[in-house]
Structure 1
Amino acid sequence: MILSASRPAAHHIELSAEEDRTLYELSLADRIARRIKLRVITLRLNASGWTTLQIAQHLHQCEHTVRQTLQRWSKGGLGGLWEATPLAQTQKVPFYSEQGWPRWAVGSSRAWGQNQVAKRGYRSG
Structure 2
Amino acid sequence: MIKAVALLARKPGLSHADFVAYYEDNHSKLIRRLLPQIREYRRNYLDRDSGIGADGAADPDFDVISEFVFDDRVAYDAMLATHARPDVAAAIEADEANFLDRSRTRMYVVDVRESYS
TM-score by length of 1: 0.23
- Which structure: greater helix fraction? 1
The normalised TM-score by structure 2 is 0.24
Q: Please say which structure displays the higher CA radius of gyration.
A: 1
Q: Which has the higher strand share?
A: 2
Relative contact order (alpha carbons < 8 A, sep ≥ 6): 1 or 2 greater? 2
